[in-house]
Amino acid sequence: CRILVMASGFGSNFQALIDATRPPAGELQNCRIVSLVVNRKGAHAIARADAAAIPWTYRNLIGGGFVRKGEADERAVADGRRRYDAALAAQILAAPAGERPELVVLAGWMHVFSTAFLKPIEEAGVRIINIHPALPREFDGANAIERAFDEFKAGRLTRTGIMAHYVIDEVDRGEPIIVQEVPWEGEELDAFKEKMHVHEHKLIVEATAKVVREILESRTSQKPSS
């Protein structure tokens, strides 16, 4: 199964996916990460791609011909985003057949896709999933771990969680694939974040493997019977 990963930062979830494609025990041994897309030049994920000989492309959201600096009003930004999304989808779908991804995994991708990206990708039969460090319908969007932690400290909550989900055009609201609760056991923020990341790295691999199994099954069922 061919996977394309999108990441904006440190790339530890991307690394978990790379490691899982490696023998002997990798859960994603039947997969190949065909490429990485980053939207931040400083993303450490780039170094991880280089180390694993995975080709990567940089698509800057601001500048790069998609959103011009100074186009600050809402409509211009929305138009710019749609242009960016449509161009990125076109780039992905233009890959030659043997390199074209069957699955896109967002692994710390700090950009909310509009239907200008999602529609052509879905119409081409490419699935798209995301990992988010919160339970469904709690702490959507950025800084989910920090916001949950504030609730722990205020005595209003004792657990948060992680989910992998299909991507729709509402932030962190697509159909969940795997959901896991993570209890707060009195740790300070850094230790709690670390604990969340360890769980995330397992969950992103499990969820990807689950979707890959479905893709492989649908490939088999599409083969004409003789």
| Residues in touch with ligand GRF (CB under 6 A) | 7, 9-14, 107-108, 131-133, 200
Contact 89, 101 (CB under 8 A): no
C-beta closer to ligand GRF: residue 67 or 107 = 107
Smallest distance, Å, CB 17 to ligand GRF? 9
Smallest distance, Å, CB 224 to ligand GRF? 40
Quickly tell me which residue has 């702490």 as its tokens: 139
Give residue number: closest CB to ligand GRF. Answer: 108
The identity of residue 38, as a single letter, is V
Contact 30, 67 (CB under 8 A): no
Reduce the DSSP state of residue 225 to 3 states and report it. Answer: coil
Distance CA 109, CA 5 (A): 9
Question: Hey, what are 57's tokens?
Answer: 């492309």
Distance CA 126, CA 218 (A): 12
C-beta closer to ligand GRF: residue 7 or 182 = 7
C-beta closer to ligand GRF: residue 93 or 112 = 112
Smallest distance, Å, CB 28 to ligand GRF? 16
